[in-house]
Structure 1
């Protein structure tokens, strides 16, 4: 009888198959790099795992909180080796948001101990005490790896249904929720990613995404270790300080597969200078995954134009869609002629143009406002919608009416439901939410591997000719004069309305009669009231001309006001709450008389 397959067993086998290979490259903020063999990772992981087993942490939650580096990888591997449940969390001292997130995770996950580094142990201990968890010890990973005998480690007895991770969501609309991810979920996700993106032992996979985000942890760290490939771990500040530094590291370390949100690719296209471009070599970057937020056609085109001169291969950009609740990947596009077919015809009409970056569909704006993805008769009336590709192997996609749950036909916009072996069994400690989110049923009655039903993603989209088109979050959809408007599209359009206008956030307030609000970051310095009023007029003109909508309130703010999650998604709910409480620090604000009556705090902000 064969032993049941687990991610832990796969990773151990991969590390021991070629022990002398370069399994990990750690890029430090100062430009140094550290190269670690598979044998070294295996040895240190066994040593720390032996300590976890001695402390009876098998089957229990272990918080992992430290900066990116070798010790982080060892800590995560040690949890797998020990049969513990790893709970990745950010270092609380990085920012106030990171501190709030880690505190919430500590209170929620019931960890029995924490793995960290020596310089962070005191701060973590203070956070544990403040959260009422005085009894939770902090273990310093490098010290344990040095003093503990790896030979004391015992391979754990695991099954596919055992928990391997609790992955906390990015928290765009609420406090982070812990997704329970099993060994079998991870195996299915790894198989799907390998099939879709053609990864293998010769791949070099890496990036700067935080390890406590599913795309960073599973896609750019665990996946190469599972493959027997090389993981290239870059600090987030590398990209945050200068996007060209991220691209330079991709070329320097021969990265073949890297992922980032759409906003990161857009920033690279806009900010990398000609001098920086001349020093880049992106010729080995064969798979540039664009995921974690809605993919924009303008971003794909701008990135291709800008970096073709740096050797970016044609077809390298891959739009994709996934979420923590599905472990990682739900749908993705592939290179022309590969796993995904080219755009097809329906009723004698070309649905989408197939380029190097996938299928881009020109949707009729009026029909889209009515919940239908239909081709525009005139190009000027179209909204470019990027297809996120075909469902990943083993995944089932259904689009339903959010109100009735009825399955919708091809081209109709509704809530995206997902099923398949990588869909998690539910949330940690939240049975009611688990039932609501993971318990939906499709027309076939099928669901995830646990048989509990389909995952309700909360995202809006449409299936057209077998491809998924993601349009935004259901709870963020704006209803204006009987039409549906997607805030992401308005925000993207505002970004193109002039050099002074940076990131924007669009949301609605009010009850039955919703009022449209724009919070708009302003670049540079505008000192006069007339200058601010002119920018407000530009914002209003954009909404009227492009979307036939009127902004009831426009708030001009300084750059950095728009808050984002660790994966780059705009936290609209946070900005909306700040607005309603009068906590936005505005450079200038204008509103309608109705809004002035409904929300008096807004006037105080202005």
Structure 2
């Protein structure tokens, strides 16, 4: 499919060639699910595209705030067809941090239009109003008929400027259904994978980047027309959006997006989904594989068929050889093939490609391990920061050209790694400079500033907190939380620790590995001065933090009962 100059042309051609084939499967709880053909998805996407083009959308930023599902897929494809720039964000939930992040993204990207769903239109409007983005026209995609096209755009009346105007009319107009004239250098996505909620950074991903990423994913995963590609990686971040949605659609294969939180909470449910839906290619973090190896029992594995799984890539976190061996031993009785589990590397941000050990280099990719202080390449076996550039790598961040200029055209991933024999393995996240703003926890990106701010909002007796990972930017999440009840009973302190865990789980969907409740002055000293995270982490690792109460979740180390040790 190298002949195409943009991804929209490639997707439209696939839809025509595979019209009756299964494009998307959205599993339902308890089995079954919603199945969408290429023809149906394409018709819906063309209707969205016509609506956008009637509003002069080519080249403009369009916020996508939808639940993972067929409407979200149609909205994304509609943006690409129309030559608009998609800006994906999560659908509104009760999370205050997500609300702040969406508002900040809308402001930073200066979005011109919004695609959402009827159920989320009001809340999306409220979030935009927080940053002065009023008077923006919204489309409730679920109210748009795939077989009708909206009338040409008429601006909203001047007096109605306090909230976005939600459009769902389907009056007939003659649409232009050809893809917009975009080139490989045309911007396709602003991917806000990086930065805290108050200062998000949007990676500039072009149509050329996406086309190059498709070929790179083919090589890393070994995918083809008969593949069924599925997983639970979040669809508003590049690995899930591009690897588990756009890539299968580009192939003419089947995408099986799984809901994030249920499968993140119960990895064995992920194994059941792989078996039930015949998924052939998946990607998950090391934590997920480790939990499956430790928690899956013989009874749970009975009846599962993992023989159709061709590639299970372990990426997005440092890969443990012990995890790889334990997962294979545990799942071999369910039909997992030798060699199906592969270690790889997926950059945390702005580079929508994957590498897999033993499957050769990505064409055109220049991947280096660099000393962050001297900015010189490290010799094989020496740890450093991973820098990347190439056709599948974003050129930089929206409004921040110096990000790549300062690195000689390379994108600084913020990941730590080691190079050996032409391959790179991730070992953690850097704590150097401005890149120390994200942690990898269970394959999810967390920004410690966001977690700390949310814990402070919980009110008394909880005070200031510091959040870090036990490993170098990865591993179990540790919260050092000041409390104002130093004389509290053991039961009262245990309740406060539970409150901390509950807050992190509900707001961010992440499990907390350890909670240390400490006296005031441990985290915040001298009024506004807070102890640096790196300093407090070192004190924690040396056993120098003196908690009033501590609670550590058990970490799975060995396969569950019945597993081979």
Q: Does the pair score TM above 0.5?
A: yes
1:292, 1:569 within 8 Å by CA — same for their partners in 2? no
User: How far apart, CA to CA, are the structure 2 residues paired with 1:219 and 1:129?
Assistant: 33
Q: Of the candidates 281, 289, 302, which is equivalent to residue 313 of structure 2?
A: 289
Aligned to 2:279: 255
Distance 1:565 1:172, change over 3 A: farther
Q: Which deviates the most, 32-41 or 223-232?
A: 32-41
TM-score (norm 2): 0.73
Aligned 8 A contact 2:87 2:191 in 1: yes
Sort the Cα spacing of 1:242 and 1:464 in 2 relative to 1 into closer, same or farther, 3 A. Answer: closer
Matched, 1:212 2:247: no
Q: Does 1:580 align with 2:523?
A: yes
Q: Does residue 229 of structure 1 match 2:215?
A: no
State the alpha-carbon separation in 2 of the partners of residues 182 and 233 from structure 1: 23
Determine if contact 2:404/2:410 at 8 Å carries over to the other structure: no
Which stretch shifts more, 20-29 or 215-224? 20-29
Distance in 1, matches of 2:92 and 2:30, equals 22
**Within the alignment, does 1:403 sit opposite 2:373 as a pair?**
yes
Superposed, 1:404-483 pairs within 5 Å as 404-436=374-406, 439-440=407-408, 453-475=409-431
Q: Which residue pairs with 1:198 in the alignment?
A: 222
After superposition, the C-alpha distances for 1:578-598 in whole angstroms (9 at most, x for unaligned) are 98359xxxxxxxx99x989xx
Aligned twin of 2:135: 135
1:171, distance to aligned residue in structure 2 (A): 4.1
Match of 1:321 in 2: 345
On the 8 A contact 2:243/2:352 being kept in 1, the answer is: yes
Match of 2:364 in 1: 394
**Which secondary structure does the structure 1 equivalent of 2:269 belong to?**
helix
Work out the CA distance in 1 between the residues paired with 2:6 and 2:94. 34
Assess if the C-alpha contact under 8 Å between 2:369 and 2:377 holds in 1: yes
* Structure 1 segment 312-391 matched on structure 2, within 5 A: 312-323=336-347, 325-334=349-358, 339-340=359-360, 391=361
1:344 match: none
Quote the residue 1:84 is aligned against: 84
Q: CA deviation at 1:175?
A: 3.9
Q: Please list the CA deviations of residues 439-489 of structure 1 after superposition, one character each: whole Å capped at 9, or x if unmatched.
A: 32xxxxxxxxxxxx2222222222122221322122179xxxxxxxxx999
Contact 1:415 1:457 in 2 (8 A): yes
Where does residue 586 of structure 1 map in the other structure? none
Q: CA RMSD in A?
A: 4.0
Distance in structure 1 (CA, Å) of the matches to 2:404 and 2:367? 19
Q: Cα offset for 1:174?
A: 8.2
Superimposed CA distance per residue, residues 353-380 of structure 1 (whole angstroms, 9 cap, x where no aligned partner): xxxxxxxxxxxxxxxxxxxxxxxxxxxx
1:198-253 CA distance string (max 9 Å, x none): 11111011112211011110000000000011111222233045322222121111
Gaps of 5+ in 2: 150-171, 434-438, 442-466, 482-487, 526-534, 551-565
Which whole-Å CA distance do the structure 1 matches of 2:23 and 2:291 have between them? 30
Q: Answer yes or no: is the 8 Å Cα contact 2:227–2:253 preserved in 1.
A: yes
The partner residue of 1:153 within 162, 169, 176 is 176
Q: Which residues of structure 1 form unaligned runs of 5+? A: 341-390, 441-452, 478-486, 490-502, 509-516, 522-526, 534-554, 583-590
Shift of 1:43: 0.9
Q: Distance in 2 between matches of 1:90 and 1:191?
A: 27
Partner in structure 1 of residue 528 of structure 2: none
Taking the aligned partners of 1:471 and 1:324, their CA distance within structure 2 comes to 12
1:311 aligns with 2:335: yes
Cα pair 2:116 2:141 within 8 Å, conserved: yes
1:53 shift after superposition: 0.4
Q: TM-score, normalised by structure 1?
A: 0.69
1:507/1:21 CA distance change after superposition, 3 Å: closer
Alpha-carbon shift at residue 326 of structure 1 (Å): 4.8
Q: Which residue of 1 aligns with 2:157?
A: none
1:506 aligns with 2:463: no
2: distance between equivalents of 1:42 and 1:135?
29
- How many corresponding residue pairs? 465
- Preserved CA contact (<8 Å) 2:63 2:113: yes
Q: CA deviation at 1:519?
A: 4.4
Distance 2:511 2:404 in 1: 23
Kept in 2, the 8 Å contact 1:399–1:414? The answer is: yes
CA contact (8 A) 1:257 1:286 kept: yes
Rounded to whole Å, the distance in 2 between the matches of 1:290 and 1:174 is 31
Cα shift at 1:130:
1.9
Output the CA distance in 2 between the equivalents of 1:246 and 1:562: 22
Which SS does the other structure have where 1:292 is aligned? coil
Cα deviation code 1:136-177 (max 9, x no counterpart): 122111212344269613421110000011111154798431
Superposition deviation, residue 329 in structure 1: 1.9
Distance, in Å, in 2 between the alignment partners of 1:288 and 1:103 is: 36
* Contact 1:180 1:428 (8 Å CA) reproduced: yes
How far apart, CA to CA, are the structure 2 residues paired with 1:150 and 1:207? 39
Displacement of 1:261 after TM fit?
Answer: 1.6
Q: Is the 8 A contact 1:92 1:100 kept in 2?
A: no
Conserved 8 A contact 1:504-1:518: yes
1:298 paired with 2:322, answer yes
Q: Give the SS at the match of 1:329.
A: coil
Please tell me whether the aligned partners of residues 191 and 350 of structure 2 are also in contact (alpha carbons under 8 angstroms). no
Between 1:187-196 and 1:466-475, the stretch displaced more is 466-475
Please state how far the C-alpha of 1:79 moved relative to its aligned partner.
0.5
Aligned counterparts of 1:323 and 1:488: Cα–Cα separation in 2: 11
| Residues 1:243 and 2:272 are matched in the alignment | no
Partner of 1:542: none
Does the C-alpha gap of structure 1 residues 108 and 405 become closer, same or farther in structure 2, counting only changes over 3 Å? same
Q: Report the secondary structure of 2:66's partner residue.
A: coil
Please state whether the residue corresponding to 2:230 is helix, strand or coil: strand
Using CA pairs below 8 Å that are at least 6 residues apart, which structure has the higher relative contact order? Answer: 2
CA distance in 1, matches of 2:197, 2:119: 32
